[in-house]
Amino acid sequence: MKALFRLIVASAISGPWAYPASAQFGSLAIDSCDDYVARAKSQVQIATGCNFGGPRWSLDSLEHMNWCKRASPKDRGREYDERRKALVGCRGYGGEVPIANCNEYAARFRSQLDLAKSLGCSFQGMRWSENLVQHTHWCNRTDARRHEYEDAARRKELAECKVPK
């Protein structure tokens, strides 16, 4: 429960609304390795079919965790931003995937919202609400199948979003 509280407080301080719609890629610091790994997994799943290579795009959560433990919060943010930049040019959809808990759900949501803003996609509705607390409360009240469905629906919308020229 403490980890969830810390995630909510950190999100309020450095929330997704801190990124302008023009999608500046800044040096976001990511303090928690659990948060970093959840975001990385989300980005790797969004990259389905893009043929990105190297450890940055590994499907293995343990590889991301081991790297994270050796990296500074600023380096974690840079790595997250590099994946986000690559996803502006290519996004895929890999269907529903398991989500371990509501902390992971919230971190995945944040990475998806960040990418949507980077792409200039104007998604509407509760699925895309910037209120992380609301998403976390919803997650705590619903079953894992619904979490996986919403996560997959956001990834599908991201895959179909066309970058404005």
Q: Which helix (H) or strand (E) holds 138?
A: helix 132-141
Q: How many CB atoms lie within 10 A of CB 15?
A: 16
How far apart CA 18 and CA 21 sit, in angstroms, is 9
Burial of 47 (0-12, 13-18, 19+ CB in 10 A): buried
pTM of the model: 0.78
SS3 (DSSP) at 61? helix
Cβ(39)–Cβ(107) under 8 Å? yes
Look up residue 103 and give its two tokens: 């902390």
Give me the mean pLDDT over the 80-86 stretch: 95
Does residue 58 have a pLDDT over 90?
Answer: yes
Q: Which residue has the tokens 């996560």?
A: 151
pLDDT band at 15 (very low <50, low <70, confident <90, very high): very low
pLDDT band at 24 (very low <50, low <70, confident <90, very high): very low
